[in-house]
Amino acid sequence: MITRLALFLSTAWVLAAAEPVLMPQPAKLERRTGALTVDSNFRLAFARPAVPRLQRAATRFLSQLRAETGIPVLYLPAPATGSAQLLIDCAQTVDTPSEKLGADESYRLEVTPQQARLTSKTVTGTLRGLQTFLQLVSVNDKNFSAPAVLIEDSPRFPWRGLLIDVTSHFMPVPVIERTLDTMEAVKLNVFHWHLTDDQGFRVESKVFPKLHELGTEGDYYTQEDIRHIISYARDRGIRILPEFDMPGHCATWLIGYPHLASAPGPYNIIHTFGIYDPTLDPTNEQVYVFLDKLIGEMAALFPDEYFHIGGDEVTYKHWKQNPKIQAFIKQHNLKNEPGLQTYFNQRVLPIIRKHGKKMMGWDEILHQDLPKDIMVESWQNHESLVTAAQRGYQGLLSFGYYLDHLKSAGAYYSVDPFTGPAKVLTPEQTKNILGGEACMWTEFISPETIDSRMWPKSAAIAERFWSPATQTDVADMYRRLDAITHRLDFRGARHNLNYEPMLRRIAPSAPVDALKTLADALDPLGIEHREVFQKYRQDTKLNRMVDAARGDSESVRNMESAIRRWQAKPNNGDEAIIRRQLELWRANHARLEPYFPSSYLLAEFKPLSEELAQVAAIGLEALEKGHDQAWRAAQLARTEELAKPHLEVILAPTRAVRLLLQR
Amino acid sequence: MITRLALFLSTAWVLAAAEPVLMPQPAKLERRTGALTVDSNFRLAFARPAVPRLQRAATRFLSQLRAETGIPVLYLPAPATGSAQLLIDCAQTVDTPSEKLGADESYRLEVTPQQARLTSKTVTGTLRGLQTFLQLVSVNDKNFSAPAVLIEDSPRFPWRGLLIDVTSHFMPVPVIERTLDTMEAVKLNVFHWHLTDDQGFRVESKVFPKLHELGTEGDYYTQEDIRHIISYARDRGIRILPEFDMPGHCATWLIGYPHLASAPGPYNIIHTFGIYDPTLDPTNEQVYVFLDKLIGEMAALFPDEYFHIGGDEVTYKHWKQNPKIQAFIKQHNLKNEPGLQTYFNQRVLPIIRKHGKKMMGWDEILHQDLPKDIMVESWQNHESLVTAAQRGYQGLLSFGYYLDHLKSAGAYYSVDPFTGPAKVLTPEQTKNILGGEACMWTEFISPETIDSRMWPKSAAIAERFWSPATQTDVADMYRRLDAITHRLDFRGARHNLNYEPMLRRIAPSAPVDALKTLADALDPLGIEHREVFQKYRQDTKLNRMVDAARGDSESVRNMESAIRRWQAKPNNGDEAIIRRQLELWRANHARLEPYFPSSYLLAEFKPLSEELAQVAAIGLEALEKGHDQAWRAAQLARTEELAKPHLEVILAPTRAVRLLLQR
């Protein structure tokens, strides 16, 4: 059995190794003959004088190459350009002061057995090409090498973002750094920093120090931290988009500055999550004086041309309760509270412009009275993006890319800014859609778990934003993602590295492979399905099995693929894979059984462990011949029962067993 | 079978959980009734005003507690001392400017179900006690808690060191930081920094900048880095001992300052390893002028009272070849070259004293003409330490603690400064032995592999230096080490975390558990046995299976224990463990077979993979009844053949199978 299985896997491997594993897939790739060897004599040269940022990029590239190969490549004095294994020909010889939306990111990478030549118009284009080159390098029967190719590449969308909410749970500087390192690897180019909310005001203000002093328990970024992160991101060709959410989500602003509020205080940091009432008072002229100073300070700190004012989820309750505000609405003919919010946005807009920025907000800010140079980020639905584009506003899609929904990489991958409701748009209108953003809200996510909620799935989203629209094969995406995910380990990402330590912490004496088998079988639910189980707070413990479980697991996906192949064409190899996995699942509960008394964190998931054994037993029985339709129907009903949400997870193998039963 | 096995493991677990798992074991520990719950309401208070270092220690302690439990414990304003779960009563209310040899490190830790009270005379004592408390906290059927105990603890030796050679391979600042974090966890208190050698001068000198500029390829610590590391170590109660090796191991000094040499230059960085001839010229007065300035600069940078001048492995070749030096030896009646080295040491000593330091060196410096306040570090043999102690010199043992020999934790654990040749010492003389140092020389070790060469075994050495001499049970040490090793993951140590990424890099398409089964079966050889296989250089690739393999593996040790138990008293549980492991080993080669063509790094170890299957087959056959003595002898011979060094490793399961055959 083993030998036949091995033979099968061997063939699979040979097929997989035949082409380079890249993500995002380049716009154009041609395979050529041969390969360029990468060894410790690997040298890099510049065809033209390199600006400092490019020199730093080369140093960083070499250390990434060292990490991903284990080969001690040194940055030694450039040899003659002809003898360098990698020649960088970047036309940009004077650096820009900061990264700009729409800047040229294209590059051309030609690899021959003698040399790789990376040509680009800009430093940013070079950065993108270096990451492609790194992904080309892999081990083979003789050495590490990059296959000979010609790649001509440029992004589909100019705005390819990732948002992190650092208010619900603070994310220390190293988390942001490693996120930027990982973003660079997959060519994401905007880090959207959700800095302020009811749960925290996470940036130091020298002008209004009570914002961060009273708006956090000391967990905030100093301005020095911010400058460091901006320069760190800039080196990687990533823009930093700051968000200061207003006029709602503002409780932490009002603790130290209650005179800006729409209702009398006192105000406090809110340690729970949801939509709360504290709101700036748009009828108070002091609010605009305050915002002018604050936005002035922050506009000087953050160099990006865009400034995100949030604008989402204003409850209007305090506006409704405040007679002065109601009188103002009447007096200014604003109709209602949404009208007042538009008034507020119209007052904020010139302040933002005065400080040299363009205004951006969530789709709630969309209103015909606002000028066309504001940018709208659609989070409520895809339709708002379509409406914005039709009305001539530029916009981004975030709806469908909410990472806290913990969907599979395949699910995120299938969302496209141009499909669904966007199909009604004219070609001219589609130009208003500049890209999208993956959004990592952190209500139930800690610095320890954030990586596994972002990665590797954000690499699939990055491909959606970068690669041609025709790139839609989910199976092919997963094949590449399962390789790329381990490349990210060498960039400091912790989605793989934190897994075992978290499992061992749950039950130190239990065999870790049995813990993994259980955790791999669990798809944790997204935030939208968790409320029925428990109300999350800032101090909720995130050390449970549901926090360690990563979902979308390779073992379950491989099982599903094997079943589909086997159902299409029965063969011993696939049947062996299916049977082996089912037996592993069925036996796992007995392996864990002795350890449930040792840990309440493990005991909590004992029901799931039992259910895993049960569903595996159904699957094994289904492999046997001679079952009638009634038996299948009964087992399917039982499987559907086991597939229901339980303890904030779904038992993923039920998907595979359902497939087997539905045959 | 599984159920019986599970039952067996269950019993083992209950026994193991009955007592706290501590390392180093405290001098005195009494179990009391009950336990102190650790939850998110955990609060810490000080019984007296805390100096800033103690406040930082408390913050760090809470973040370590958060990491090791996953419980979001916050550092909130101290409650009344009575209500704090942890009360710190530290008598030291004025901090010392730096850590001193022999400073009080004792503490008393009393844990009741209501409160833990940590009492100490010094901040350093508190630091040690906090680490003990952290190890007490573990998960159980209800929560995380610390068992009620009374611990009274103090170290056996005042000098408990770890040396890292940063010249053979440079170790960037994060490597040093995480090493200090891990040292703190196991109460090591001296970081010996081997900063200069023929392969690099790794510290910035502002007085003689050509030292680091020409003595490295840019890989050195700035003085700012040094100050940062000193303060980082100081916070953790760790002294930093700098070593400037002289008059040999000095090639990098002479590149920029060839006038100090004993032979005409030019000199270069040496990229290979061994003992080389470049030597300072002790007869040249300019050497002492230079050393006065350099030592003056470095004595001001490093606050520790000791200054290590190395003094090892001087070849004397250039002294022999230089007529001027030979004339000097005659003229000053120095007899020979060792006499000249003593002369050199006698000249350096007043310079070191003048700059406020005490002199320290390797055992080569030991000479009766030197005064008694120098410190000797014995690396050549244990006898030199005994001689030094007899003559009234203080000394440390490093012989037997060379981590680059890659011995097992058990082997290092069995070395004791007071045993072996030291048994002849009088009680008074033993007082001259202040402790020892684990030495991490890095000829074949990179920043990626260094953790697995130091940890977890250095925790066993730390216990040797800290705990009572009676603490010698190797099996008990391993039981605790196998738990402590995973605690270190939460301190940033990479010995566990780097394992899978390194294995995946060797063969990305192969199943990682099969790669692990192979690598776990390999004991990499120490530096002293590697020369027959290959000559290491600074640019040798350290990405092979031998670099990923960690040795001393839990699976092999568990197998040996099971065999010993089973041989003492045959039982089904142990037999099942033995058989399952042997079957896993035997089947592993077939699992890897398809992947050897995919990677030269995996293919290199194909012979070992085959041999693993062979030795496992012998073991399985040996489990069967009815073999005669001749069969056993023949299989034993075959096993001894398989146990020979091969590809720089030893096949560890041969140890287990040998046990089976020798029955």
CB B614 within 8 A of CB B590: no
Look at residue A80 in the predicted model and tell me its pLDDT: 80
Given a cut of 80, is residue B15 above it in pLDDT?
no
Subunit contact B74:A542, Cβ cutoff 8 A: no
Hey, how many other C-beta atoms are within 10 angstroms of the C-beta on B270? 19
Which percentage of chain A shows pLDDT scores above 90? Answer: 93
Q: Domain tally for chain A?
A: 2
Which residue in A598, A606, A609 has the most chain B C-beta atoms within 10 A of its own C-beta, making it the best mutation to test that interface? A598
Report the pLDDT value the prediction gives residue A19, as an integer from 0 to 100. 76
Query: Is A68 touching B (CB cutoff 8 A)?
Result: yes
Average pLDDT over residues A48-75: 94
Last residue of a domain, one of B118, B153, B188: B153
Instruction: Tell me which chain B residue has its CA closest to the CA of residue A548.
Output: B70
**Cβ separation A505–B70 shorter than 8 A:** yes
Strand, helix or coil for residue A306: strand
Q: What's the whole-number mean pLDDT along residues A17-37?
A: 91
Residue B166 has pLDDT above 90, yes or no: yes
Residue B519 lies in a domain: yes
CB count within 10 Å of CB B377 equals 32
Taking the CB of residue A476, how many other CB atoms lie within 10 A of it? Answer: 11
Tell me the torsion sign for CA atoms B587, B552, B27, B143.
negative
- Whole-number mean pLDDT of chain A? 95
pLDDT > 70? residue A14: no
Residues ≥6 apart with Cβ < 8 Å to B42: B65, B71, B73, B85, B86
CA distance B72 to chain A (A): 6
Interface-testing mutation among B13, B71, B173, B482, with chain A (most A C-beta atoms within 10 A)? B13
Tell me how far CA of residue B179 lies from CA of A77, B194, B445, B450, B547, in angstroms. Answer: 32, 14, 15, 10, 19
Distance from the first to the final alpha carbon of chain B? 24
CA atoms within 13 A on the CB side of A428: 3
A636 touches chain B (CB under 8 A): no
Residue A255 lies in a domain: no
Mean pLDDT computed over A209-238? 98
B293/chain A closest Cα distance in angstroms? 32
DSSP code for A551: S
Residue B155 pLDDT greater than 80, yes or no: yes
Indicate yes or no: CB of A139 within 8 angstroms of CB of B6.
no
Q: List, for residues A127-142, the tens digit of each pLDDT value.
A: 999 999 999 999 999 9
Q: What residues 235-294 of chain B have any CB closer than 8 A to a CB of chain A? A: none
- B392 phi/psi in degrees, rounded to 5: 95, 10
CB within 8 Å: A74 and B539: yes
Q: What is the pLDDT of residues A377-425, one digit of tens each?
A: 999 999 999 999 999 999 999 999 999 999 999 999 999 999 999 999 9
Residue B11 in this model has a pLDDT that exceeds 60: no
Q: What pLDDT is attached to residue B19?
A: 76
A598 touches chain B (CB under 8 A): yes
* Averaged pLDDT, A74-78: 72
For position B105, which CATH number holds?
3.30.379.10
Confidence of residue A78 (pLDDT cuts 50, 70, 90): low
Chain A contacts in chain B segment 29-58 (CB below 8 A): 40
Please classify residue A555 by burial: count the beta carbons closer than 10 Å to its beta carbon, then call 0-12 exposed, 13-18 middle and 19+ buried: middle
| Contact list, A538 vs chain B (CB under 8 Å) | 72
Is the confidence at residue B522, as pLDDT, over 80? yes
Q: Cβ contacts (< 8 Å) between A497 and chain B: which residues?
A: 497, 501
Q: Which residues of B touch A10 (CB under 8 A)?
A: 593-595
**CA closest to A506 among chain B residues:** B139
pLDDT at A219: 96
Distance from the B17 Cα atom to the nearest Cα atom in chain A, whole angstroms: 8
DSSP state of B51: P
- Please check whether residue B446 touches A, CB under 8 A: yes
**Shortest CA distance to B168 belongs to which of A72, A264, A625?**
A72
Q: What is the tally of helices (H) and strands (E) in chain B?
A: 27, 18
Distance from CA of B581 to the nearest CA of A (A): 14
Q: Nearest chain B Cα to A592, which residue?
A: B6
Supply the pLDDT for residue B367: 87
Q: Which residues of A touch B138 (CB under 8 A)?
A: 508
Contact B132, B153 (CB under 8 A): yes
At CA B111, angle to CA B26 and CA B142, rounded to 5?
110
Shortest alpha-carbon distance between residue B314 and chain A (Å) = 30
Determine the average pLDDT of the residues in A149-169: 98
Which of B153, B173, B194 is at the close of a domain? Answer: B153
CA distance B511 to chain A (A): 10
Q: What are phi and psi of B78, to 5 degrees?
A: -55, 130
What is the pTM for the complete model shown? 0.95
CB contact under 8 A, B72 and A496: no
Phi, psi of A277 (to 5 degrees): -85, -25
Is the distance from CB of A194 to CB of A243 less than 8 angstroms?
A: yes
Strand, coil or helix: what is B32?
strand
Contact check, Cβ <8 Å, A595/B139: no
Answer yes or no: are the C-beta atoms of A133 and A146 closer than 8 Å.
yes
What residues does B145 pair with on adjacent strands? Answer: B37, B138
Rounded mean pLDDT, A174-188: 98
Is B345 in a helix, a strand, or coil? Answer: helix
Per-residue model confidence as pLDDT tens digits over B543-599: 999 999 999 999 999 999 999 999 999 999 999 999 999 999 999 999 999 999 999
pLDDT band at A10 (very low <50, low <70, confident <90, very high): very low
Looking at residue A15, its pLDDT comes to 36
Mean pLDDT across chain B, nearest whole number? 95
pLDDT at A560 > cutoff 60: yes
> In this predicted structure, what is the pLDDT of residue A2?
40
In a domain, B566, yes or no: yes
Interface check for A332 against chain B (CB to CB < 8 A): the answer is no
- DSSP conformation letters of B242-276: EEE--SSS-HHHHHH-GGGBSS--------B-S--
Other CB atoms closer than 10 Å to residue A336's CB: what's the count? 11
Please say which residue of B88, B123, B153 terminates a domain: B153
Residue B460 tokens, joined: 């066993």
Taking only the tens place, the pLDDT of each residue in A518-554 is 999 999 999 989 988 999 999 999 999 999 999 999 9
Section B179-187 average pLDDT: 98
Mean pLDDT of B286-303: 98
- Cα A64–Cα A68–Cα A514 angle in degrees, nearest 5: 130
Q: Is A595 on the interface with B (CB under 8 A)?
A: yes
Chains A and B: how many Cβ contacts under 8 Å?
151
A116: part of which helix (H) or strand (E)? strand A116-120
| B598 vs A6, A17, A490: nearest CB | A17
A590 touches chain B (CB under 8 A): yes
- Whole-angstrom distance, CA of residue B616 vs CA of residue B590: 13
Residues of B within 8 A of A479 (CB-CB) are none
pLDDT confidence of residue B73: 86
Q: What is the largest CA-CA distance in chain A?
A: 84
Catalytic residue among B313, B383, B610, B621: B313
Residue-level pLDDT at A302: 98
Does the residue B558 lie in any domain?
A: yes
Q: What is the ipTM of this complex?
A: 0.94
Query: What 3-state DSSP class applies to B139?
Result: strand
Residue A412 lies in a domain: no
Q: Residue A58 domain-assigned? A: yes
Query: What average pLDDT does this structure show over B641-657?
Result: 97
DSSP B26: P
Q: Do A142 and B600 touch (CB under 8 A)?
A: yes
Q: Please answer yes or no on whether A71 and B541 come within 8 Å at the CB atom.
A: yes
Query: At what angle are helices A572-592 and B2-17 packed, to 10 degrees?
Result: 40
A189: nearest Cα among A24, A35, A349: A24
Question: Is the pLDDT reported for residue B540 higher than 50?
Answer: yes
Q: Which residues, in sequence order, are CB contacts of B523 under 8 Å at separation 6+?
A: B406, B408, B549, B551, B552, B553, B649, B650, B651, B652
CA distance B400 to B630: 39
Per the CB < 8 Å rule, is B600 touching A489? no
Q: Active-site positions of A?
A: 313
Q: Provide the domain limits for residue A71.
A: 21-153
Q: How far apart are CA A134 and CA A573, in angstroms?
A: 34
- Per-residue model confidence as pLDDT tens digits over A587-626: 999 999 999 999 999 999 999 999 999 999 999 999 998 8
- Judged by a CB distance cut-off of 8 A, whether residue B591 touches chain A is yes
pLDDT band per the 50, 70, 90 thresholds, residue A1? very low
Name the token pair of B121. 């005379």
In a domain, B71, yes or no: yes
In a domain, B488, yes or no: no
A489 to chain B: closest CA residue: B501
Among A43, A56, A497, pick the best mutation site for testing chain B contact (most B Cβ within 10 A).
A497
For the segment B290-294, the average pLDDT, to the nearest whole number, is: 98
| Chain A interface disruption, residue of B543, B585, B609, most A CBs within 10 A | B543
Q: Do B2 and A500 touch (CB under 8 A)?
A: no
A18 token code pair: 């035949």
pLDDT band at B78 (very low <50, low <70, confident <90, very high): low
Q: How confident is the model at residue B14 (pLDDT cuts 50, 70, 90)?
A: very low
* Rounded Cα gap, residues B455 and A505, in angstroms: 19
Secondary structure in 3-state letters for B631-644: HHHHHHHHHHHHCC
Q: Which of residues 483-502 of B touch A (CB under 8 A)?
A: 483, 486, 489-490, 496-497, 500-502
**A517, A521, A593, A594, A609 from A588: Cα distances, Å:** 7, 11, 9, 11, 8
User: How far is residue B123 from each of residues A105, B46, B88, B126, measured CA to CA in Å?
Assistant: 55, 12, 10, 5
Token pair listed for A254? 């009002």
The predicted-structure confidence for B207-243, as pLDDT tens digits, reads as follows 999 999 999 999 999 999 999 999 999 999 999 999 9
B488-506 tens-digit pLDDT: 999 999 999 999 999 999 9
